[in-house]
Amino acid sequence: MTSCRAGPVLCAKGCEIEAETNMARKREQAPRAWQRMLSGRRLDLLNPSPLDIEIEDIAHGLARVARWNGQTEGAHAFSVAQHCVLVERFVVALRPRARRGLRLAALLHDAAEYVIGDLVSPFKAAVGLDYKAFENHLMSAIHIRFGLPPLAEAQDTVLIKRADRCAAYFEAVQLSGFTIAEARRFFGVPRGVNPPKLTPLPAMKAQALFLQRFQSLSA
């Protein structure tokens, strides 16, 4: 058995430094799991912190993420930002006295897509549960950042989902080439809301519209 000539204290210190060096080297070699935002924030995708989430980044990203994989009519894509504004509007139509927190949750219901994009439902099903867990983790951080409970109440989730399906129905029929029969089969018959006239907005206008609704709800 050999012993360290430098002595046990220096040997332990040297081993500690070597271990830290090896860990740093492994971190450098690991795939990057964070994204830098235009605000300057660096969002860790595996462990997102509410402190690294800014509404301006969300609005900018959602205004440039296309619903329906971009398969919509018009000179511009129908953005997730514009969709979120529509869903919040429908929540108010379905529950006229909806509290401000519920309306804000509706506006932010797809906010995670500023990072992960808008995957169509068939692809989400193919990816499986890991994708949903990742999305839910990010949504919890977003909710905390803007003063909402990490998980919405069950009745609120049901209402937002109903408004979301109403929005999807009208988007599908007016913009994405679905027949009425197809839209009814996939999204149900929208009840309790007035049919909107949907016109896809340029990204900057969709971004401004989303931010305006957020500022109104969070004032």
Domain count for the chain, please give it. 2
* 165 and 109 in a common domain: yes
Over pLDDT 90: what percentage of the chain? 72
The CATH number assigned to the domain holding 133 equals 1.10.3210.10
The pLDDT of residue 51 is 95
Domain residue limits at 5: 1-30
Same domain, yes or no: 90 and 180? yes
Whether residues 20 and 41 share a domain: the answer is no
First to last CA, the chain: 71
pLDDT at 19: 64
Nearest to 193 by CA among 167, 158, 161, 172: 167
Looking at the structure, do residues 9 and 39 belong to the same domain, yes or no?
no
Reported as a single tens digit per residue, the pLDDT across 104-155 is 999 999 999 999 887 666 666 666 657 778 888 999 999 999 999 999 899 9
Note whether 20 and 42 are same-domain residues: no
Burial 150-161 (b: 16+ CB within 10 A, else e): eebeeebeebbe
For 56-97, write each residue's pLDDT tens digit. Answer: 999 999 999 999 999 999 999 999 999 999 999 999 999 999
The larger pLDDT score, comparing residue 34 to residue 98, is at: 98
| pLDDT class of 23 with cuts at 50, 70, 90 | low
Same domain, 7 and 85: no
Do 61 and 83 fall into the same domain? yes
Mean pLDDT score, 158-182: 98
Claim to verify: residue 3 and residue 110 sit in the same structural domain: no
Shared domain check, 49 and 103: yes
Say if residue 24 is in the same domain as residue 42: no
> Residues 42, 17: one domain?
no
In this structure, are 9 and 98 located in the same domain? no
C-alpha of 213 from chain center: 17
